[in-house]
Each structure stands twice: as C-alpha cells, then as structure tokens.
Chains A and B, each alone.
Chain A
Amino acid sequence: MSALRDLQAAMREAILGGDERAVAREIAGDGLEPSARLGIYRHHVFTTLTAALAGTYPVICRLVDARFFAYAAHCYIREHPPVSPCLVEYGATLAQFLAGFPPCRDHAYLPDVARLEWAINVARHAEVIAPIDRRRLATVPVEDMPRLSFRLDPSLLLLASAWPVDAIWRANQGDAGVEPAVDLGAGDVQLAVRRVGDDVIIRALDPASYAFREALRDGQTLEQAAAVALAIDARFDLTRAIHELLDTDLLTDFALSDTPALVT
C-alpha cells in the first residue's frame, strides 16, 4: 500500500469533502493550525474553479447573483470536481446539477439557460474545420443525391427548450440594470448555436429547419432528413435549405450511403 496514495486521498477528502481528520495529523502546524494551512489550499481550489465556472456561465451567474452562484458552484465542485486539467472542459453537467438543486426549484428555466451557455462554450472552443469542397460535391450524380450524408461544422450545436432561453440570454448581456423584460411564457424555441469568426451566434430556427439539421448531424441521409422536415412542415423547401447550409459553410464533408434511394 502506498503511503503517498493514502496521503493524497486524505488530502483530496480534506479539500473537497471537508473531513480533515486523516490528513491533519500528517501536517506540521508551525505556529498555525493544520486546518488553517489546509484552508489556504482549499480556498485556492474553490475560488479558481468557481471563477472558471463563472467564466463559462456568466448569464447564470447574473441571473442568480454572484453570491448565490458561488454557493451553488461550491456545492457543484464538491460533488462534481473536474476530471481534466483543461478547464474549458469543466462544467458540462452544471445544467443537470441545477435541475436537481433544491434552492433553484422555483427557477425552472435555469437549467436550459445553462445548457445554452454550455453550447456557447463548446462552440467557442470547437475545432476549426474547413468547409466542404464544393467542386467535389458537384461531381455527385443527381440521382445519388438522396443518399448523401454530411458532416456538419463541429461548432454547430442544436438546442431545444420550452423556455425562451435565447431572449433570456440576450436580456442579460451588456450593462447590469438595463435588463429588458422577458416573457417567460413566450413558448418553446429551437436554437442553432454556432461560432462565426470570433463570435458565437445564437439563431432561432423554425421546427422543420431544426429537425432537418438535427437529422443530418446525426448522420441521416439527405432524403431521410428531408422526410423528417417535411413531416413537420409540408412547405419545407429542401432546395433552399441545402443552399443555406452551403452558403453558411455549415457542411464540412460528405459521404454516399450504400442504401439505395427510397424514392425514385
């Protein structure tokens, strides 16, 4: 058994869980309680991780105010400490945590705002991938087009919510104290979050366009994705939708599925 492993496990417990008994007897106080010396390390761990979460979730922080955010973050860090030293990856599960966090029970929209902020974080750091080679795409015979499947820009994230989270997010940008009123009963939204240049853009989509992108993202063929969109809205314009994907560089690669086209 490794003494060092035991010591580190005890120190982890002292820092995250607060039970210092096992590690305190290993520490020389040198004029200070071992607990106070441990507290120096604990303070750094919690303040820097709280700052990392506040950086990823600025709107949540503003909605609940900074003091409550620090309290919620403290609880979250104890239960869900980072597993990687790359802190832009930290906080993926904050939305689920807030959904089950009793003090947030009266603010049912908070978890979805957190999901939106996480999507923005992922979009911001997603890999930079070149758009599709249009000349290569143009060589696909017309009759094979229904069997096309695509890879989408990894900075595109799709998010549906029963709350107007895009309006909530926008109302909480800029200077504090000038928040426009948001109608929480405005109905559900289907959003596309995507990095464009140095910015991350949030765009509301109609249900058919949302379902079309979702189907393509999940690897369905053009024909299958079109069927999904048309089932939602018979007026869905496939040609226009494809042009829009191309014109906004949303497609990065394509493949032809082996399944023959269903419709001739």
Chain B
Amino acid sequence: MTSAERCAASGPGRTGIGLRAPHVAEIMASRPALPFLEVHPENYMFGGPALAVLESVRREYPISLHGVGLSLGTAGDLDRRHLTNFRALIERVHPCLVSEHLSWSIAGGSYLNHLLPLPYTEETLGLFAGHVEEAQEALGRQLLIENPSGYMRFHHSPIPEPEFLAELVRRTGCGLVCDVNNIFVTASNLGLDAVAYLDALPAAAVGEIHLAGHARNDADGLSILIDDHGSPVADPVWRLYAHALRRLGPVPALIEWDTNLPELPVLLGEARLADRLSAATCGDDARVRAA
C-alpha cells in the first residue's frame, strides 16, 4: 500500500481538511469522520505546545504534512536545518503523506514567504530533481510535489509545466499532488487549457488532489484569479475535479481553506461534497483497491 493509499484507507471518505488552530478544540471534541488532517510542518517545528497538540490530534487522525518552506527550486543549497527539523517532525507524527511545491521561496538567504514561479528549463529540471532526491533522502520519505498557482510566465520557459512534472517523477521517483484549483487559476491567468494540462500529467504518480477556493481580482482591466484559499471551491473547479477523478481514479483529496476561515461545518460540508463527487465518479471501491 502506498502512503497515499494509507491516507484514504485509514478512515471514512477520501477527503481530508486542513487543520487550522481555531478548529482544533472542536475537532477533538466532536471527532468528525475524516480520513486525515493536513498541517504545514513549519508551524510545528519547535517542540512547544503546538507540537503537543498535534501529537494528541495524531492519536485520533492520520496527518498529512504539506510543506511550504523547503524551497526546492532555489538555485543554491537546501536549508539543512529545515530538513533536520522536518525529519524530526516526521518521526514524531508518522504522516501518511509528505508534500511540497514546484516553486522557490529563498534567495540570498531571505525567505520570501510565497511559492514563487520557476522558468521551466533544463537547468531548472536538473536542479529541482537534485533537490527532490536530496530531500527524499534526508526525510526518508517519498515526496509529493504540487503544481503551483501561476500569475506570470517567463519568456524563456520551454518545457510545459505538466511535462516538467512528468519528467521530475521519472527522474526522482517522487509523486505528485494535483492541485485542481491551481490548475484552474494558472490556466485562467496564463491562457492555458486546464483540461489539456490535467490530461498531460502522469496519472499513476498523482497521490493526492487538492481543492480550494480562489478570488477574482481586476488588474488593469484584466481579470486575475488569486489562489487565496478563502472561499468555497468554485463550480468550474468542481467540474475540473470530476474530470480529474475520471482520469486519476479515487485518490485522496484535501479541502484547503486558510483565509477568512469559516466555521468547521462549512469545511466538513466541502469535504462531503468532494466525497460524493468521488463516489459518483469512481464508485465506492477506493478502500478495496487500497487494501
């Protein structure tokens, strides 16, 4: 059983939610039926009370660690201290999934707190694949790499993003997170075909699907979608999710919601909706397949 299948097989449904601090007490008191909970490892690397809370949650739910700080695309060395802390956290919570992003955040020693875009070139591919291998070795785990939301493209970026990801999988043995909302946002912002993008991903490598809401901003008369994780999943993203399910099969999914955090039942409602779509599209045999 792969780590992704463990996430889906360990509990009811296939769709987990992001665990955010304001919901922790309610989740622990009401114990909603969820296959897993997702957290950002960067918030739990200090051994303080936050980690103690996470460990108590871990006794009830599998945990997915979704990193935002490794900066695998940085043209320079990986942050060894961060890798060491990440490894220690993995050994404490035994996550069902460990994921990161196709992006960079660190340059000149500064952490820019954003998933910044990469030009998709041979140089980037060689560097990124090397960093994924180094991180998988240091963490002792397979990483799933997520497609980012794009707001710009570089003139010199000859490799299409899904092909870049496919080649990354081939070189490193990593898996993929298919963020359906990010595909929708990127396709809209950069004039790509979202369905063609999805169809170009290596289906067997996708271990998790991410779903989230986005905002629509006006930038000098041009409509730009912002991946702000601040609203329900949009209807066209649900439609793209249904297409993803037909292509990828019943992989675990995650509802991400970080800004304008709603009451817990709203989040659980989104997860149930994703489960219903998954069951309607793939049938209810996910756990049988995973076993």
Contact = CB atoms under 8 A, between A and B. Distances in A.
Given A36-B219, A82-B113, A88 B107 contact: no
Nearest to A197: B49
A17 to B, nearest CB: 11
Contacts of B82: 84-86
Given A4-B123, A4-B124, A128 B49 contact: yes
**B-side interface size class:** 35 or more
Contact of A41 (B45, B76, B116, B222): B116
A242 interface: no
A225 B119 CA distance: 60
Interface string B56-88: 000000000000111100111001011001000
A33 B221 CA distance: 11
Contacts of B153: 27-28, 30
A184 interface: no
B220 A36 contact: yes
Contact of B104 (A8, A36, A83): A8
Interface residues of A, number: 46
A108 interface: no
A81 B106 CA distance: 10
A135 interface: no
Contact of B114 (A36, A48, A88, A124): A48
Interface string A34-48: 101111110011001
A3 B124 CA distance: 9
Interface in B173-196: 190-191
A40 B108 contact: no
Contacts of B105: 85
Interface string A82-100: 1111111000000000000
A11 B73 CA distance: 13
B81 to A, nearest CB: 8
A87 B219 CA distance: 29
B107 A83 contact: no
A10 to B, nearest CB: 9
A126 B52 CA distance: 12
Contacts of A5: 75-76
Contacts of A36: 219-220
B161 interface: no
Nearest to B49: A128
Contacts of A52: 113
Nearest to B151: A40
Contact of A38 (B110, B127, B152): B152
A3 B107 contact: no
B133 interface: no
A262 B247 CA distance: 79
A85 to B, nearest CB: 2
A12 B119 CA distance: 15
B109 interface: yes
B118 to A, nearest CB: 8
B100 to A, nearest CB: 11
Nearest to B48: A125
Contacts of A44: 113-114
Contacts of A3: 121, 123
Contact of A15 (B47, B49, B76, B112): B112
B42 interface: yes
Given A49-B113, A86-B45, A125-B48, 4 more contacts: A8-B116, A30-B191, A40-B152, A84-B82
Interface of A: 2-5, 7-9, 11-12, 15-16, 25-28, 30-34, 36-41, 44-45, 48-49, 52, 81-88, 124-128, 195, 198
6 contacts: A8-B74, A26-B119, A83-B111, A85-B105, A88-B43, A127-B48
**Pairs A-B, 8 closest by C-beta atoms:** A85-B69, A5-B75, A37-B152, A81-B110, A12-B107, A4-B75, A8-B107, A125-B48
